[in-house]
Structure 1
Amino acid sequence: MPAFLNPPKIPLSTTFHLRPLLFPIPSKPSIISFSSTSTPTPEDISHLIVTAHSPSQALQTFKWATHFPNFHHTQATFKSLIQKLCAFRRFDTVQTVLNQIPASLGGPPDDDIFITIIRGMGRARMTRQAIQISNLMVSQFGKNPSTKIFNSVLDVLVREDIDLGREFFRKRMMGCGIQGDEYTFGILMKGLCSTNRIDEGFRLLKLMKSQGFAPNPVIYNTLIHALCRNGKVGRGRSLVNEMDGPNAVTFNVLISAYCKEGDLVRALVMLETCFSCGFVPDVVAITKLVELLCNDGRVMEAAEVLERVERKGGVVDTISYNALIKGFCQLGKVKMGKRVLKEMEGKGCLPNVSTYNLLIAGFCECGKLDEAVDLFREMQMVGISLDYVTYDTLIRGLCSGGRIADGIRILGMMEENGGKMAGRISPYNSIIYGLYRENRLEEAHGFLVKMGRFFPRAVDRSSKILGFCRDGKIEEAKRLYDQMVGEGGVPSALVHMRLIDGLCEEQDVRGAFELMNDMVVNACFPIVVTFNTLIDGFCREGSLGSAASLLEEMVGRGCLPDIGSYRPLIDGFCRRGNLQRAVGLVAEMVEKGVVPDRFIWNSLLLFLNQEGIECKHRLHVNSLLNWICEG
């Protein structure tokens, strides 16, 4: 048995010996106002002990206090000392201090002191020793443990092992005639629910009622939360009907659960019920509801929810406002998002780096790069630390918008700051992407080479892939690409472009198409040259439908097709004898300002010169020519 649980016989007059002061305590501690001749209060000494930096300093403070005339230690000062010793796991010294209490105070330690020891042992994972504290109270101090003491031991055991806690409740507590109280059942319910033993939780609820206890909201909320966590939100909602009255926590749990399931209608109904009962949801539940509304495009409703919560005295924090700003940005209403920024500042809720990052991303997405740069500068002026996301977002936005020189300048600022932002390749890939978008491929390759001093492994692999593609060794290039991606690497747009070209040359158009999808996933939208390579590849393998779909997707994403986009499709439809589709594409390209070249006219003329071509086809082409000339 540990020494603490079998203490040596120490005379009541014995005092513990103290070593010399490690941290001399001044006669006028700066944190407490009393003179060298006045006597500090027990509260003063308790505060000094709790704020001590080590167990020895706490002990010295305790001893130092006795030098003041008329000062007497109390249960509170002993508790503070024991609390500090338990925090440093000095349970041997706790035993000695505990033995001094009867002589010093004329009575045994109170329940708060024993509870402090029990909780300290719990934090130290000394659960078995914590159980013996109730025996110690009887054997050494002649004091029967109260329900409060038993509950403290039970709480420690349940945190460690619910089965150990249940055994303690049945054998020790009930064996001593302690039936428990609402806190006892609350502890057991928490243990059962935290281990997802929900059925046993319901049996415990039934036991409480059979013993005449009215389960309090805490017990019901614990069970409701466990049900919701396990996807049984409806069952949790029905349990509310059994409660004498739900509280704010009940509604927080249910609103959050409905939001997690994406059930916006029921979440809003629960919000109205919460308001009608006189409660206001907490900031966590409200933020989840705002996020769900914004994801559904109902941003104005989300703004109204926040406004109502504020009017009713609820808390709305920066994270809640950020969710609303994100919603506005997703709808392209970035100026509304910026207005929210100003409103939250006016209400004393300060924006953080995420607030600005969301707005910078929103302005970049809308092509309003000057506004994004202004926000970047504003962050510096108001003292908000720029993080990696700030730099990465702005560099990507600038390079995607053709302002590569500005992107390189911001990258230089990021390199100067260094720290946690070093070793991130994404901003550098954004520069390459910007050069790729402008078809400045030689410059992109030169920049890739310069990156070698920061990312030698990534650049070496990229260079090898490009070399394999140049030499026609596409299989080796693809294998190295897959290895790079498999290890978490993100190849640049230049690598994707060359590999797509190579795969199409090898007639692996499907593989090239998958690579293009990888580009889009990595926020690198292909330029017209890459689209044309794939369109031509699909046409050469006879997949005209796939080529036409790719052309539609290209236009739908805002990438303007050129003559190379239409030429293979028109030729393919002519060879298939589908003049209507071919002529339709010619009309479409002319509408977009793309002038047909001689290859396209040759395709049409070759089709018309074939034997057996109906006259109406020739008339169709003549009408097209007249329309083009008139235009």
Structure 2
Amino acid sequence: MLGFIRTNSRCLHPIHITCLSFLHSGSTTAASGTATFPVCFLPPSRPRLPIDELETSYIVSSFSDWFRRGSDPVPLLLDQIYSAFAFSADGSALNSSLSRLRLRLSEDFVLRFLRHRPHPSVVPNASDVSNSLLQLRIRFFDWCTHQPCYFHTRTVYHALFRLLYRHNHVSFVMDCLKRFSESGRFSLFPGVATVDAMKGHSRFYYTLVIGYSVIGCAERALQLFSRMRYYGIDLDYFGYHVLLNSLVEASYFEFADSIFDQINARGFSGPVTDCIRMKSLCCQGQLDDAALFLRQLYLRNHREVADRSVVTLVQALCKAGRIECARHFVEEFNNAEAYGALISFLLSARKVDVAMEILRKKKTKDSEQHILHIFHYNRLIQLLLGQNMLEEVCDVLVEMMEEGISPDQYTMDAALCFFCKAGMVDVVLELYDLKMELGMTPNRRVYNLLIQSLCQEGKVNEVLRVLKECMNCGYFPGNQTFTLLSFALLRMGKLKQLRSLLEEAKSRKFRSIIPIHARYVSSLCKNGAVNEAYLELLNAGVGAGVMMYGSAYCNLIRAFIELGMVEFPPVLLIQMQELGFKPGRRLYREVVGSLCDMEMFDMVLVLLNKQLEIKKLDIRTCYNYVIYGAAHSKKPEMAMEVYSRMVNAGIEANIETDILILRCYVKK
């Protein structure tokens, strides 16, 4: 499996053979088996790979070096900026926080911030995370406009407008454009101008046309462009192509053809024009014409444009279901971008087998061409992990290492998930600690798999450490992991930690908390913490679901009896029946017997009267249960008193009652 990591090291070759055979059998079993298991039992532990400590150290060393090559300090800096905007009380606190970071603003840096998704721990919790992040991005954009020696470029404005458009905030941009059209001052917020342009000036109309084009209001942009031409004002190269792209995306193809003509007439035609023309043909479904146009570009030696355009054509062919034709174009034009587009479509369609077949053919034909983008590798690994195809995951990871592709955070998380599923917990812990040292927190899936693996290995201290770090990072175990972890803590006797976990789960309204809470109460009873268990039952109540489990009552009743606190069991016995749980004959015998042993005969009669009052059991059964308890504790006088009350109530004793009375006297 991992023997290819150090191709010059012969000592890793046996590891490769052993691990591959293990993964092949393991993945087959996982794929064919079922994922369900009884809630009260942990699933069987994943088999451990038969490798020794030396081989494990080679694997850890190789992947550690690879992880370090993929560490990037910029995401950490971007997280700090998000945190500053999220938690600063006012403008002075914000400026103070940002000044310590010594930011060097540039177009690339601002664009990267707008596209960055921060870690959950650095931003406040919100019901709508997407909107919350968007507000922070807008505030950063606005803050940048007031910084000296920096000005937003058209590309940054374009990126922001597209971001707002994707988040369905078209009305926000429309308000900005409306304020601009009325005042000649462009601002994201009322009263704060970031761009000045006199009404009627070329820059005024230019901004409006670009703005409406970017947010998809092609018709309005076209009307404003017509007004520009009426006043003798024209767009530049950038503006024409933004408008043209908007018309194509809105399927206004006749107007787009007119703009194509105007672009040619003004000498603005270039590579971007050809790319948009290819997009227009594909959007209209004229795929054969698009293929002809692509070949013409190659004949005219417009290689760069053709390489970009073949991607558009391949995507359109895939969407039209012409996969083989798309594969033909990829092989014909030998284009890495088109190759990536084909793989991306196959992965989105979950055709993993076809994608893996193409990968293998590519590797045998030409190992230097068609290196996939890391996004495609990550997507492929994700799908393979989902299908437990561990051998194939291993092949992909090794291929990335061989081709010198530095991993990003998603790749590292996928590698950790792979080792978890392969049962290599020691390797996972080493790489997990390394990732934390590099300042890159794993995602929720890694935490879930790691906690599950540690529970199955019985590593108590490591489980608690990872759980704490998981919660500090803003994550919480999923339902299945929560159940496994809770039962592991129960099994290990870590009731204090389980109590904290239950409190957090309760605040998050977890579905699986009910059986765990009931077992927690039962464990408290078995460990002698009866008072705490009773308070838990009273305080949590039906809201926590503890009372939905009769076992919690049974364990609590027996715990009180063992401690000699016999005044509580009768109350609980009645209470559990009112909630719909029917006590067994043995439990009733234990409660009545404990009262008789303490010579609390009045309470026995009170219990009998209360039992008859609630009418949850058959009347004769009520009397028989009490007589049975008194007989078992060798108290014939008490048994006869209950028997007399039964007769006086007009209840005819049956043979079972007579036998119970007889046994009572015999035992006495």
TM-score relative to the length of structure 2: 0.45
Greater relative contact order, per chain length (Cα 8 Å cut-off, separation 6+): 2
